[in-house]
Amino acid sequence: MTLPEKTSAGDVAAAFEERFGFPPAGVWAAPGRVNLLGEHTDYVGGFVLPVALPQQTYAAVGLRYDGILSCASTLTDERVELPVSELAPGSVRNWAAYPAGVVWALRSARHDVGGADVLIGGDVPLGAGLSSSAALECALGLALDELHGLHLGRAELALMCQHAENAFVGMPSGVMDQMASLCCQENYALYLDCRSLKGELIPFALAEHDLELLVIDTRVAHKLVSGAYADRRMSVEEAAMALGVRSLRDVTTGELGSALDKVDERLRPRTRHVVTENARVGIAVDLMRGGYYAALGQLMTMSHASLRDDYEVSCPELDTAVDTAMQAGALGARMTGGGFGGCAIALVPSAQRTSVEQAVTAAFAEQGFRAPHVFSVTASAGAQRAQ
């Protein structure tokens, strides 16, 4: 896994014309995301707090009228051609399952979507837990929405893209990634209720506070379609059934003690994480409104401990990144994304940015890990037509 070179809409448009022999109808862009707080809470209808990344995935698209979806990527010379009428869950096993899934989801909802030529490119790191798959889905979904005049709302389109990932690709994720990619705005975090899909933009202009958000890519690729992620989701669903609630989102921290007494011992740590993580998101929003970023950092670190100990989705590289960043002066740090690899984030004073990066890099070398990629990000805008 390497950090992609900076890519522009023009680069992807030129690659499309070279590959297909004519210019695209347009290029659409959707960002990756990092989640400040609210991990593994979206699929219980809970609360999350993501920001969109400056890094984008681009979809250059042209319509075709022979019923064929032709998918290409700047990362490979391969072109995958699929009859749209034959798309079905499990029918596509490689990377093309993501664009194919979006077409299938729209058609399953009785939208008149036919064939297309699609070229995917961009600079969202792959396999790093920064939601490159959702960015791809949202860029293509937005393109097809515009080209076919579907006039879908952002939340409706996010649900379509989530359905593509859940039912077609086979990843049982929540809707946070797609909502973040489609609905975030520059200098704001998205406070999202994943049950109602109601969102509120919370100011997150760190430069005004002499702060930076560092992403520490551990370069440990995570593969969430494997059983560990699905096992966590089944555990919290089982706990909700035992408690007689719709989901663990409906259990408050005040009810947590009695709830833990009612669930099987093996489910207690998972239950504790989800309930306390939901509460941390609400507290974080109040702190951000008041500009209390040091306290926000403490919540981030508490979240990591919960993900590490109760939800057991961290790994040695993520723990090293978090612990070292804190020792080097970060206000807070945590893993972000589904876990089992991927990235950590650290909220750091701008004056400490270099020392934190150097300390993490040195700690990885001392542990014999691959050198991490460390880069600063700002809260950026959601998906849009780029060309």
Amino acid 227 reads G
Return phi, psi of residue 77, to 5°. Answer: -85, -10
Given the residues 145, 177, 193, 264, select the one marked as catalytic.
177
List all residues 6 or more positions away from 317 whose beta carbon is below 8 Å from its beta carbon.
Answer: 218, 219, 220, 341, 364, 367, 369, 372
Helix count and strand count (H, E) for the chain? 11, 13
CA–CA separation, 304 and 56 (whole Å)? 26
Q: Please, what are the averages of pLDDT over each run of 10 residues along the chain (387 residues)?
A: 70 96 98 96 96 97 97 94 97 95 98 97 85 96 98 97 95 91 98 96 97 96 67 95 97 97 97 98 97 98 98 96 98 93 96 97 97 96 97
Tokens 């970023």 appear where?
293
Please tell me the predicted confidence (pLDDT) of residue 163: 97
List all residues 6 or more positions away from 281 whose beta carbon is below 8 Å from its beta carbon.
Answer: 37, 38, 41, 46, 47, 48, 49, 191
Q: 279: part of which helix (H) or strand (E)?
A: helix 268-290
Asked if residues 387 and 16 have their Cβ atoms less than 8 Å apart, the reply is no
How many Cα atoms are found within 13 Å in the side-chain-facing hemisphere of 312? Answer: 11
Other beta carbons within 10 Å of 283: 14
**Mind giving me the DSSP string for 55-72?**
EEEEEEEEE-SSSEEEEE
Strands 116-122 and 68-73: parallel
Closest CA to 53 of 138, 115, 148: 138
Tokens 């007689």 appear where?
244
- Structural tokens at position 69: 């979806």
Amino acid 230 reads A
Please tell me the predicted confidence (pLDDT) of residue 6: 81
Angle between helices 293-309 and 268-290 (to 10 degrees): 170
Q: Give burial (CB, 10 Å; 0-12/13-18/19+) of 196.
A: exposed
Please tell me the predicted confidence (pLDDT) of residue 4: 58
**Mind giving me the DSSP string for 31-43?**
EEEEESS-TT-GG
Closest CA to 204 of 292, 275, 136, 330: 292
Please tell me the predicted confidence (pLDDT) of residue 225: 44
The partner residues of 346 in beta bridges, in order of sequence, read 214, 333
Asked if residues 335 and 304 have their Cβ atoms less than 8 Å apart, the reply is yes
Asked if residues 277 and 39 have their Cβ atoms less than 8 Å apart, the reply is yes
Please tell me the predicted confidence (pLDDT) of residue 2: 42
Asked if residues 280 and 185 have their Cβ atoms less than 8 Å apart, the reply is no
Strands of 332-336's sheet in order across:
332-336, 343-349, 211-217, 373-377
- Structural tokens at position 202: 């919370």
How many Cα atoms are found within 13 Å in the side-chain-facing hemisphere of 368? Answer: 0
The partner residues of 215 in beta bridges, in order of sequence, read 345, 375
Asked if residues 32 and 132 have their Cβ atoms less than 8 Å apart, the reply is yes
Active-site residue flag, 123 = no
CA–CA separation, 225 and 72 (whole Å)? 22
Please tell me the predicted confidence (pLDDT) of residue 226: 55
Q: What is the pLDDT of residues 167-181, one digit of tens each?
A: 999 988 889 999 999
As a whole number of Å, the CA-based R_g of the chain is 21
